[in-house]
Amino acid sequence: MSPDGGIVRACAKVNLVLRVGAPRPDGYHELVTLIGRIDLADVLLVGPAARTHVDCPGLPGGDTLVTRALTGLCAAAGHAGGFHVHIDKRIPHGAGLGGGSADAAAALLAANALLPAPLPDAELARIGAGVGSDVPALLHDAATIARGRGDRVEVLGALPRAHLVLAHPGRPLATRDVYRRHVPDDRPLPAAIALPTTLDELVALLENDLQAPAEALAPACRALREGMMGAGALAAIVSGSGSAVFGVFATRQEAERAAGMLPDAAWTTTATLGAASGG
């Protein structure tokens, strides 16, 4: 990136595995999740400025996560200036695709590179964890396992390529509302999750403890999931706390055909897992 800044992509995520335990004393839930990045991305223009200002026309109410991330970065680095960020939103808000967290992570990485003395990765992860639970994992392009409340991150590597259909019912879900409806079961959280190396292994791995409460709050999510299965998906689940649903297809052609067969969706797109870059 030049000293004047540049354009970066903030790639969305899907939760391939999301296991959720009981509430912790701090109000968060203990969790274990396998996160993959996809090539659906917001686009950010990041540059130096006298003070931090974030412009995001596609987000009602304005951005907060990026502002908090960059404020934290400047404080930690002792940087007297700030950054200007313009965000072209392409990831739906409140969809469980990590759009806001991906923007914060991408802005942190880009702004840090513009500092006279960039901070180490561990410090960026600390700042990110204070902004949002998904931010530390989304500082990495590779598949990651996140534990705790999402702040303990293990980078695994590349996922097998898979073609996805993403669908949104038009109604965002608040993460806190979904977690409040979650009823933990007696299964222990997994100590490890193996990185899938084939499409079959990936499909067999998909699991989301928050799917049931998300579908209870937004029944359209279940209709979309069942619609994807009816359109030929190898598997389909809610991503994160919803309300987006994603289905896995064997080929791009099958995914593109299925995307046009979901009349209940307010928004659909196709994306590729295992091909994200940037962010």
Q: Mean per-residue pLDDT for 156-173?
A: 95
CATH of the domain at 266: 3.30.70.890
Shared domain for 148 and 164, answered yes or no, is: no
Query: Which residues span the domain enclosing 172?
Result: 158-273
pTM of the predicted structure, to 2 decimals? 0.94
Does the residue 217 lie in any domain? Answer: yes
89 is catalytic: no
**Alpha-carbon separation of residue 199 from 73, 156, 162 (angstroms):** 39, 16, 7
Pair 57, 63: CB distance under 8 Å: no
- DSSP character for 92? P
Q: What is the dihedral of CA 52, 55, 59, 60, to 10 degrees?
A: 90
pLDDT at 60: 64
* Active-site option among 13, 42, 89, 103: 13
Q: How much of the chain, in percent, has pLDDT values that exceed 70?
A: 97
Kindly name the residue from 42, 103, 134, 209 that is annotated as catalytic. 134
Residue 184 has pLDDT above 90, yes or no: no
Q: What is the mean pLDDT of the chain?
A: 94
Q: Is 186 a catalytic residue?
A: no
Residue 278 has pLDDT above 80, yes or no: no
The pLDDT tens digits of the residues spanning 188-216 come to: 999 999 999 999 999 999 999 999 999 99
202 and 228 both lie in a single domain:
yes
CA distance 46 to 8: 8
Residues 102 and 149 in one domain: yes
B/e letters for 94-117, b = 16+ CB within 10 Å, e = fewer, are bbbbbbbbbbbbbbbbbbbebbee
Domain count across the chain: 2
Determine how many CB atoms are found less than 10 A away from the CB of residue 37.
29
Task: Report which secondary-structure segment, H or E, holds 207.
Answer: strand 207-208
